[in-house]
Structure 1
Amino acid sequence: MTKNSKPWEENWKIIDNISGGGQGQTYLVELKNNSFPANKYVLKKLNKQNDDERRSRMRREVVVLETLNCPGIPKLIDSNVELFKSNTPLYMVTEFIPGDTLYDFLKTEVINIFTGVSLTIKLLDTLKYCHKIGIVHRDIKPDNIIIKNNDISTPVLIDFGISFNKVDESATDLTPTWQQLGNRFFQLPELGEKSSLQRDHRSDITKICGILFFTITGKFPLYLLDSENGNKPHQREEAKQKLSASPNLPESIVSKINRVFDKAFEIKIDSRWQSIPALMDALIDIFELENSEGNKAETFLEKIKNKLSSDSNIEKKLFRKLAEKVIEQISQAVRSLVYEDLDSNYFHVCARGASERLGIIDWANLKFSQQVTGISCEFSNEDFFPEFQGFATGNEFVLVSSIKGKEVELLRTSLSGEPDFTDFAQCLRKFYAEGVESIISK
């Protein structure tokens, strides 16, 4: 480190500790001189100042905040991130937003559904501004929303530490796609490891719907589908009870909210809300209470639509159907290799029973892990019996396995499409041939 191990002390005096996390510590500070307007501010410094990735991440956060000028986002005041390639400790100072986080606010305040919808619309306004200039937040959660002056009508979005800016698309220091993104509030498949959709703006829209769900139910959505029954967040018993227990809430409003969540919590990102204006229109429509007799038929139809949508679980069916096809193709490819290319007097097919193939599917993340078919050799003490992992990521199905300790991606295809099984079969034959070579060469 440089001689000045606390460069922020030149202008800023720490007066209180605000919070700490994995990335850094934040403090309430005040100015030592007249270089900025007299006020309270927030100082953020890194926990691991020698970590190059975290230093680059802080620099990107500052670059994003320099770009933004919106009432729903704190203003950047000061930083030294231009020194991110040196060994000088980095810091940044932003406008101080008085008030609780949304998470803490809801511990002591009870808000009705319409207030929750209004809050969500205001957050969407802020998000629309960000997306318009090419910035995807990627870490929306109750702890990253401050209720300014504890007035629920003035939410402020904070912490752009893992945000993505399209002007940085070619940068080499962005968070690698093999890293998991997300938080314990709401994990989305497209933010998982190996996903090619980690920078998709539609994930932000989904997470804002998760915020609405949280304000209404007090529960974290956690996953798009639970591991027990494959239910979406609003289909889980506690959430359903919370909605049904809302006093004086017309069934038509509950139905409309459920319809918003039906679409918001689809597994395939292409099936969710695709734009902020479309979602805002649906939310604004919730305010239109249907009290007249003439609307009873419409209410009844809404309930039927909601029931059909809730019970369909289309994503599960698509995933299972594709997984079964893929596993059958693996078995066929191995048999073809043994009986057509290898000498079946010395090489044999090892297969699991059909009922064992998929094993237990993790519906929360739509994935399976299973050994399907292997090859044994008369003059080797080992079999080549690889384990395959199949999983959904956004709107894609991915299949991977490993050979000689190296992971190999064997298939990436649309979750709702039909793979090119000819290319897939050739890929599998090559994979198994290399696997057999690895055991007989020992």
Structure 2
Amino acid sequence: MMPIRGEPHGRYVHFMAAKRIGRFNIVRELGRGAQGAVYLAQDPQLERQVAIKTLRPGATQTERLLREARIVSKLQHANIVPLYDAGEYEGQPYLVCAYVEGGTLEKMLQQGALPSVKSAEIACFLLDSLEYAHQQGVMHLDIKPGNIMIGHRGQPMLMDFGIARLMQEQVENREEVIGSPRYMSPECISNEAMNASSDLYSLGMVLYEMVAGIPAFDGDNVFQIMNRVAHEPVAAPSIHNPELDEKLEAIILKSVGKRKEERYPDAAAMRSALKEYLGGIGDAVANDAHSTLDFLLRRMRSKSDFPALSSIITEINQIVASESDSANKLARVILQDFALTNKLLRLVNTVSYGQFGGNISTISKAVVIMGFETVRNIAMSLIMLEFMQNKSLAHQLKDEVVAAFFSGVVATQLAVGRNIRDSEELMICAMFQNLGRMLVTYYFFEESQEIAKLVEQGQNEDQAAIKVLGLTYNQIGIGVAKSWSFPKRLLDGMEKLPLGEPVKRPKTEAEHMKATVSMANELCEIAANAPQEKSQALNRLRLRYQDAVEVSERKLNEALESGMKELSRRAMTLEINTSRSPLVKKVRQWSGLPVEQQPAASCEPAEGMNGVHGIESALDSNTQEDASIRPDPETVMGAGIQDVTNSLVEDFNLNDLLLMVLETIYRGLGFKRAVICIRDNKQNAMVARMGLGEGVDGMIPRFRFNLTFEPDVFHLAADKGVDIVIEDLRAESMANKIPRWYRELSDAQSFILLPIVINKKTLGLFYADMQQANGLKLSERQLSLLRTLRNQAVLAIKQKM
């Protein structure tokens, strides 16, 4: 094994002092490394900026170096940094390359691992360049993150093609190895014959680092690293990134096999494997809509936030679709998100939902009164509004969200007086008809800009989207909604009607909904873009839909006006200040409505404080006041008690009412978990039946204790009917009073037990815990409210006995 040079030796010419080399004017130094320094220079002859890289001195080999460099300069590929020229200055060789605006992959990786799909895409581009170079008989032999430029448009480009091999030849007699040990192939370290497979190994190591966030091999010095590369197996990258796709991991591990024959035979084979992983877009199946959608979904799933969004929406849809799942399960999912819970409850108590009677203080009661589907629809619209937040996209995405929200509101206004079962379904279908555009703007911003340019050039949006993405925005949105388990009724309602054609008379309620949703979106788009005189534009829309939706020009105008009022009401409830929306301003101007005035800057609260307004604030992840400011506990419990009281005088379901009590206990004091246990006489045990909070699904099957007396707090509560508050389980006095089964079950440091006693017999038990010790410093008022809730449960059970 030969030693490696970490720093250059010999005399270097300081080009910055020279200010000029040949015809090139030195501007500034860009960087310095083992092989030399890199300078930004100006080529006055061709009027362009170039990068000049100095190389280690070696006068006897300079002529050969320059001859070989001329061969490399013939490489012309989009993912190879072009080599323009080569020469010698005061005995020191130099190379003149294209100057690429951007940064190196090495710098990008300083921020941590990249998304798997993005990593695979970068590798595919680099493999294109390697396949081309290998066909020309040129190897790189020093592929590493520092030699990979990422242009300002995101295009990856290999630098220093072939220079490592040329430099290696320069120092053969010195018994040195030129290269980067973390990425060098084992045969390079062992001084064996190298070929194209050595480049594939190095690229595999770079791909490993992209997905894992750290190199596959490291050590205290270069010799230790080289020994590990040559002799130790490569650890699976999923050790560092548990979410890594198995297919991509298999590709990486194959590419970094110790022996050449274990790796891919050539760059084309490795690229083919990666493109298969990516879904095949751009290959023979590029016109296959299913494959294109799979590819786009895979790219979105690689983002850190998309899986969480998908998980909660899918779970909500599956619960609503199930005939066996209960209100408890739907409420539990929604209650996991504190901000969603508060916004949903605020919204359902507005005038917009007056038909439900108002004064709904628990998610449990909302589900019972409004029904699974209505709560689902409200929750999903709120989730999308909350999710679409990205500072880097500024107003563009945020106005897309407002546009979708406004379309939903207008759809409900167009349905007034018509036979459509659920106006909230209209709301969500109209909003989610824009789902594809919002997701593309959020996740594929550059592609969305490209689509916008094509539209400006005269193509319609569907044509432009197909050209850039292979699918229309609407097809993408419906495809994503299917993956989220949307019911067919909503999927049908999201589907756009063909542009320009007269809309046929609907035969079913679903067709009525689809026509109304499409009309609402087209009306909002016309109002926002103001393409022509108002009356003429409305009349054209009316004529297109006259067989499907009997609506006058006056009704269309009223829908816009009432929609603006309803948008303002809902936006105020959700703390979205629409006065900052360019779209709302345009619609108001076109409709002849007064334009809302923006609040004075001096009146706005500081960022991150309760009450932040403005679209930027309401959709900004750094200003989610609901996530940090909890309502007053006594207010929450008082409202919940009123909810339960109202239900007790009606024909109630016992499980639903007990869930309202449990939810009020859980939310009121911010417990980590809340559980209700019921006495099981056959087993002579107290058994957990339902619960809310973190990890409760795993806790319920194991939360049970035999009613045969033991000297612990659980039996004291069950046998004596005593309310118990444990402030600190670590207290010395608690050592013998907490049973072993509980210590193995929960890591909570404080909890409360409220027994349900009827006729001097404990029939059930409320349990609620907090993670931290001394979290249960209850006031007399709070303890009294908890007991009132427990007593309401007692009353409900008595009524049903």
Letter paired with 2:77: C
Q: Could you list the per-position Cα deviations for residues 63-111 of structure 1 after superposition, in whole angstroms to 9, with x for gaps in the alignment?
A: 2332211111222333325x9xxx6443332110111100102324763
Alignment of 1:266 with 2:257, yes or no, is yes
CA distance in 1, matches of 2:229, 2:123: 28
1:157 matched to which residue of 2? 158
Secondary structure at the aligned position of 1:93 is classed as strand
* Aligned partner of 2:185 among 174, 184, 188: 188
**SS across alignment from 2:21:** helix
* Pairing partner for 2:101 from 87, 98, 101: 98
Task: Judge conservation of contact 1:226–1:233 (CA < 8 Å) in 2.
Answer: no
| TM-score, length of structure 1 as denominator length | 0.51
Q: How far is the alpha carbon of 1:24 from its aligned partner? A: 1.5
| Aligned residue among 148, 157, 160 for 1:145 | 148
SS in 2 for 1:123: helix
Question: What SS class does the counterpart of residue 204 from structure 2 fall into?
Answer: helix
What is the rounded CA distance, in whole Å, between the counterparts of 1:176 and 1:62 in structure 2?
21
Q: Report the alpha carbon displacement of residue 224 of structure 1 after superposing the two structures with TM.
A: 9.5
Match status 1:16 vs 2:20: no
Residue 126, structure 1, aligned to residue 124, structure 2: no
Residues 1:228 and 1:71: Cα distance change in structure 2 (over 3 Å): closer
Equivalent position of 2:42 in the other structure: 30
Q: Relative to structure 2, which stretch is displaced further, 263-272 or 101-110?
A: 101-110
Shift of 1:136: 0.5
The alignment status of 1:66 with 2:57, answered yes or no, reads no
Once the two structures are superposed, the pairs formed by residues 180-259 of structure 1 within 5 Å of their partners are 180-195=177-192, 197-198=193-194, 200-222=195-217, 226=228, 230-234=232-236, 239-245=237-243, 254-259=245-250
Structure 1 ranges of 4+ moved more than 6 A: none
CA–CA distance in structure 1, aligned partners of residues 252 and 110 of structure 2: 23
In the TM superposition, what is the alpha-carbon distance from 1:26 to its structure 2 partner? 1.0
How far residue 218 of structure 1 moved from its aligned partner, in angstroms, is 1.3
**Pairwise CA distance, 1:265:** 2.3
* CA gap 1:109/1:267 in 2 versus in 1, 3 angstroms: closer
Residue 90 of structure 1 aligns to a residue whose secondary structure is strand
CA distance in structure 1 between the aligned counterparts of 2:257 and 2:170, rounded to whole angstroms = 31
Corresponding position of 1:405: none
- Contact persistence 1:224–1:267 (CA under 8 A): no
C-alpha deviation, 1:177, in angstroms: 10
Q: Which moved more, 1:275-284 or 1:129-138?
A: 275-284
Q: 2:27 is paired with a residue of what secondary structure? A: strand
Q: Which has the higher strand share?
A: 1
SS at match of 1:136: coil
Letter in structure 1 aligned against 2:73 = E
The 3-state SS of whatever aligns with 1:116 is helix
Gaps of 5+ in 2: 1-10, 218-224, 281-289, 291-801
Indicate if the aligned counterparts of 2:81 and 2:157 stay in contact, CA closer than 8 A: yes
Residue 232 of structure 1 and its aligned partner are, at CA, apart by: 1.1
Q: Which residue of 1 aligns with 2:57?
A: 49
- Pick closer, same or farther for the CA change 1:188–1:49 going to 2, 3 Å: closer
Instruction: Give the Å deviation of 1:262.
Output: 3.1
Change (3 A) 1:107 1:164: closer
Q: 2:142, 2:187 → 1: CA distance? A: 13
SS in 2 for 1:29: strand
AA aligned opposite 1:52:
T
- Other structure's SS at 2:200 match: helix
- Which residue identity is paired with 2:84? I
Encode CA deviations 1:114-138: one digit per residue, 9 max, x unaligned.
1111110110000001000000100
Q: Distance in 1 between matches of 2:196 and 2:174?
A: 15
Over aligned residue pairs, what C-alpha RMSD do you find? Answer: 3.5
Distance 1:72 1:132 in 2: 15
Distance in 1 separating the partners of 2:51 and 2:97: 5
For residues 205-231 of structure 1, the C-alpha deviation after alignment (integer angstroms, 9 at most, x for no partner) is 111111211110111123699589944
For 1:210 and 1:172, locate their aligned partners in 2 and report how far apart those are by CA, in whole Å: 24
Letter in 2 for 1:49: P
SS at the partner of 1:130?
helix
Q: Give the structure with the larger helix fraction.
A: 2
* Structure having greater relative contact order (Cα 8 Å, sep ≥ 6): 1
Question: Structure 1 counterpart of 2:235, which letter?
Answer: P
